[in-house]
Amino acid sequence: MAQPKYLTGDKAGIEEFLSRFDVFLFDCDGVLWSGDHIYDKVPETIEMLRSKGKQLVFVTNNSTKSRADYKKKFDKLGIPAEVDEVFGSSYSAAVYIARILKLPAPKNKVFVLGESGIEQELDAEGVQYVGGTDPAYRRDIEPEDFTNIANGKLLDPDVGVVLAGLDFHVNYLKMAIAFQYLQRGAIYLATNTDSTLPMAHGFFPGAGSAGAGVEKAIGRAPLSLGKPSQAMMDAIEGKFHFDRKRTCMVGDRLNTDIQFGIDGKLGGTLAVLTGVSKKQDFLTEGAPTVPTTYMDSIGDLMG
Amino acid sequence: MAQPKYLTGDKAGIEEFLSRFDVFLFDCDGVLWSGDHIYDKVPETIEMLRSKGKQLVFVTNNSTKSRADYKKKFDKLGIPAEVDEVFGSSYSAAVYIARILKLPAPKNKVFVLGESGIEQELDAEGVQYVGGTDPAYRRDIEPEDFTNIANGKLLDPDVGVVLAGLDFHVNYLKMAIAFQYLQRGAIYLATNTDSTLPMAHGFFPGAGSAGAGVEKAIGRAPLSLGKPSQAMMDAIEGKFHFDRKRTCMVGDRLNTDIQFGIDGKLGGTLAVLTGVSKKQDFLTEGAPTVPTTYMDSIGDLMG
């Protein structure tokens, strides 16, 4: 594997790099911002890319937010962006269910383990669902529930899909119901399977961990519609119709962002060092995932 | 591997079998009863074994019940048993923490993911704990909790162990706190790691599934104190001082009960067909776990 090219401070290198791509897929958290802290020169960098006619897509695994929620975050931080440029794992899952899976009615409802971001994207794609933020599922399991789940009384007969995302309201009742749907043959999807969620300068259980109970119970993994799953790349390509050789993935995580670009056979990948992965992680001999280029922070693209 | 001997209806075989053992380790659910349904001739069989001077130990992975809770269940079903004959995974974990781990004070508290059965056994062994059934942890996570967990404000500085059992009140707050304790170096234990729990003629998430979120987040498995972990066998032996060659494990699950006996190098194992595993599971060429004997139901020991 060739050594990645270091672009910070390399004006000629940056110019050559920019000339090679028409489309940039951006991870957000760890690249543009960390929580509510925006990194240096991010709005200017985004403007500069737009002024050069580059197409931008913001690709995020955070399933708790819809594209509309994300647009608000961009606005709040002063980063120019359109809703249609945001591609989240909830949207990815909704598109996959509505346009690729296309289950015949009536058995085409989705049981949602997750927050309102998933519900909004399913609504936007016209997909019916149960679970999610419905208060009826946000309660302790009671003794009679075991029988009513096992015999199907507590289930919706039209559920054909279980979709697991990051659920801050995960509980045993929902796990038991999801497990029962899967035992009865429901298709098993996840918005993403990240094990951790960086928050408040710490690490918290991610979507993959919130959903790990159901995965362990049924004994098989869901199809993930988030990075690095190529189901997400296919969905992005289906919407934006880009030339993969003229597309670059920008991200801070080697095992999700950069791997996503490599597996998608994109023309290039750019790792930034403002987030999770450090340069030793890919400069070391035998590193499993190596970007084609890297820089200290995305603002360094301004030269 | 020798074929297991079928004992149902084989009077001479049963006599020879009984003569080879002084101690019988009994799994309960699937062997003696299923839920509140007791199998045929169970009390008589237990009485018969006692009349022959056999020592009986009831070994269960159910961590939601204490030994005292189990004693009540035996009484209710009319099976003669003493509290001291019950060895549950909660008790196993409490004994391991109090008598083997013996962490020096003050950093020797346990953060409990589980129900009152664990708390009762920790109390009985004089182990301090937080979490468990405390209502303060049975709530939704709030935005400020993320900061207070990450900076340690919501944590007890004396916690040195995370103990995960079957928690019917699992939630994101407890998962996040347990994950934070583990990131800070707490020892990671589980009462047991069964993926499923047979209930109401169906399957529900077991202790291993309720705890899978924390396991996935931290990226390593807990030390299990339940079957088939030999930590449990060592704890049983530490209490009862039996001769392993004169001891037989009786159970319905090949991958927990029978494997537990095989790994423990017991003199024999007896599979009964009233529970989870079927005879095809061990009579098939190349089956991974094969008992030395089997019978249709435990009552067949009466001849």
What's the pLDDT tens digit per position in A185-200?
999 999 999 999 988 8
The 10s digit of each residue's pLDDT in B235-291 is 899 889 999 999 999 999 999 999 999 999 999 999 999 998 999 999 999 999 999
CA B133 to chain centre: 20
Cis peptide before B288 (omega within 30 of 0): no
CB within 8 Å: A210 and B210? no
> Could you give the residue ranges of the DSSP H alpha helices within A96-162?
116-124, 143-150
A149 closest CB neighbour out of B168, B169, B202: B202
Counting Cα atoms < 13 Å in the Cβ hemisphere of A279 gives 15
Q: How far apart are CA B92 and CA B112, in angstroms?
A: 14
Q: How many helices (H) and strands (E) does chain A have?
A: 12, 16
B172 closest CB neighbour out of A150, A169, A176: A169
Residues above pLDDT 90, as percent of chain B: 93
CA A69 to chain centre: 14
- On whether the CB atoms of residues B245 and B232 are closer than 8 A, the answer is no
Q: Of A139, A125, A131, A124, which Cα lies nearest the Cα of A163?
A: A131
Q: What is the largest CA-CA distance in chain B?
A: 69
Q: Which of B37, B133, B172, B177 to mutate to test the interface with A (most CBs of A within 10 A)?
A: B172
Q: Report the pLDDT value the prediction gives residue B198, as an integer from 0 to 100.
A: 85
Annotated binding site of B: 27, 29, 227, 252
B168 closest CB neighbour out of A172, A206, A215: A172
B102 pLDDT more than 80:
yes
CA B211 to chain centre: 15
The average pLDDT across A215-219 equals 98
CB within 8 Å: B200 and A171? no
Amino acid letter, residue B80: P
Q: How far apart are CA A71 and CA A82, in angstroms?
A: 7
Q: How far apart are CA B70 and CA B87, in angstroms?
A: 9
Residues 226-255 of chain B with CB under 8 A from chain A are none
Among B10, B29, B40, B167, the active-site one is B29
Q: Given CB atoms, is B208 within the 8 Å cutoff of chain A?
A: yes
Is A10 annotated as contributing to ligand binding?
no
Question: Could you tell me if residue A66 is left (phi over 0), alpha (psi between -120 and 50 degrees) or otherwise beta?
Answer: beta
Q: Report the pLDDT value the prediction gives residue A9, as an integer from 0 to 100.
A: 97
> Tokens at residue B281, please?
């599971």
User: Which residues share a beta bridge with A110?
Assistant: A129, A161
CA distances from A269 to A63, A192, A265, B17, B258 (A): 23, 21, 10, 67, 51
Q: Which residues have a Cβ under 8 Å from the Cβ of B29 and sit 6 or more positions away?
A: B35, B60, B62, B198, B252, B275
Q: Of B59, B71, B7, which Cα lies nearest the Cα of B31?
A: B59
Residue of B nearest to A195 (CA): B217
Q: Given CB atoms, is A185 within the 8 Å cutoff of chain B?
A: no
User: Which residues share a beta bridge with B129?
Assistant: B110
The 10s digit of each residue's pLDDT in B189-238 is 999 999 999 888 899 999 999 999 999 999 999 999 999 999 999 989 98
- On whether the CB atoms of residues B58 and B86 are closer than 8 A, the answer is yes
Is A263 annotated as contributing to ligand binding?
no
Closest CA of chain A from B19, distance in Å: 40
CB within 8 Å: B217 and A201? no
Q: How far apart are CA B55 and CA B16, in angstroms?
A: 17
Average pLDDT of chain A is 96
The average pLDDT across B66-95 equals 95
CA A194 to chain centre: 9
Q: Of A250, A291, A223, which Cα lies nearest the Cα of A29?
A: A250
Pairing of strands B202-205, B196-199: antiparallel
Q: How far apart are CA B256 and CA B194, in angstroms?
A: 8
> Could you give the residue ranges of the DSSP H alpha helices within chain B?
11-19, 42-51, 67-77, 89-95, 116-124, 143-150, 172-183, 207-210, 212-218, 230-240, 259-263, 280-283
Residue of A nearest to B152 (CA): A202
CB within 8 Å: A208 and B216? yes
A and B: number of Cβ contacts within 8 A? 130
Q: What is the largest CA-CA distance in chain A?
A: 69
- Per-residue confidence band for A164, with pLDDT thresholds at 50, 70 and 90: very high
Lowest-confidence range among A165-169, A177-181, A232-236, B156-160? A232-236
Q: How far apart are CA A174 and CA B171, in angstroms?
A: 11
Annotated binding site of B for substrate: 227
Q: Report the pLDDT value the prediction gives residue A218, as an integer from 0 to 100.
A: 98
A297 pLDDT more than 70:
yes
**What DSSP state is assigned to residue A210?**
H
Q: Given CB atoms, is B284 within the 8 Å cutoff of chain A?
A: no
Q: Report the pLDDT value the prediction gives residue A293, as an integer from 0 to 100.
A: 98
Residues above pLDDT 70, as percent of chain B: 100
Q: Given CB atoms, is B133 within the 8 Å cutoff of chain A?
A: no
Q: How far apart are CA B183 and CA B152, in angstroms?
A: 11
Pairing of strands A23-26, B293-295: unpaired
Q: How far apart are CA B199 and CA A183, in angstroms?
A: 14
| Residues of B in Cβ contact (< 8 Å) with A208 | 216
- Per-residue confidence band for A147, with pLDDT thresholds at 50, 70 and 90: very high
Sketch the domain layout of chain A as residue ranges. 104-224
User: What is the CA angle A160-A165-A171, rounded to 5?
Assistant: 90
Q: How far apart are CA B138 and CA A232, in angstroms?
A: 36
Residue with tokens 């002084």: B22
Q: Which residues have a Cβ under 8 Å from the Cβ of A59 and sit 6 or more positions away?
A: A25, A26, A27, A28, A87, A88, A227, A232, A236, A249, A260
Active site residue A194: no
Q: Of A124, A185, A123, A131, which Cα lies nearest the Cα of A156?
A: A131
Residues above pLDDT 90, as percent of chain A: 93
A269 pLDDT more than 80:
yes
CB within 8 Å: A146 and B208? no
CB within 8 Å: B169 and A168? no
Q: Given CB atoms, is B214 within the 8 Å cutoff of chain A?
A: yes
Closest CA of chain A from B107, distance in Å: 22
Q: Of A227, A230, A235, which Cα lies nearest the Cα of A253?
A: A227
The 10s digit of each residue's pLDDT in A14-62 is 999 999 999 999 999 999 998 889 999 999 999 999 999 999 999 999 9
Superfamily of domain A104-224: HAD superfamily/HAD-like (3.40.50.1000)
- On whether the CB atoms of residues B16 and B22 are closer than 8 A, the answer is no
Examine the predicted complex and report whether its ipTM is higher than 0.90: yes
CATH class of B5-61+228-302: alpha beta
Active site residue A167: no
B216 closest CB neighbour out of A150, A168, A209: A209
CB within 8 Å: B219 and A150? no
The 10s digit of each residue's pLDDT in A85-135 is 999 999 999 999 999 899 999 999 999 999 999 999 999 999 999 999 999
Q: Given CB atoms, is A27 within the 8 Å cutoff of chain B?
A: no
Q: Given CB atoms, is B177 within the 8 Å cutoff of chain A?
A: no
B1 pLDDT more than 80:
no
CA A267 to chain centre: 21
Handedness of CA A152, A153, A154, A158 (dihedral sign): positive
CATH class of B105-224: alpha beta
Residue of A nearest to B201 (CA): A150
A1 pLDDT more than 70:
no
DSSP-assigned letters across all residues of A29-51: BTTTEETTEEPTTHHHHHHHHHH
Closest CA of chain B from A24, distance in Å: 30
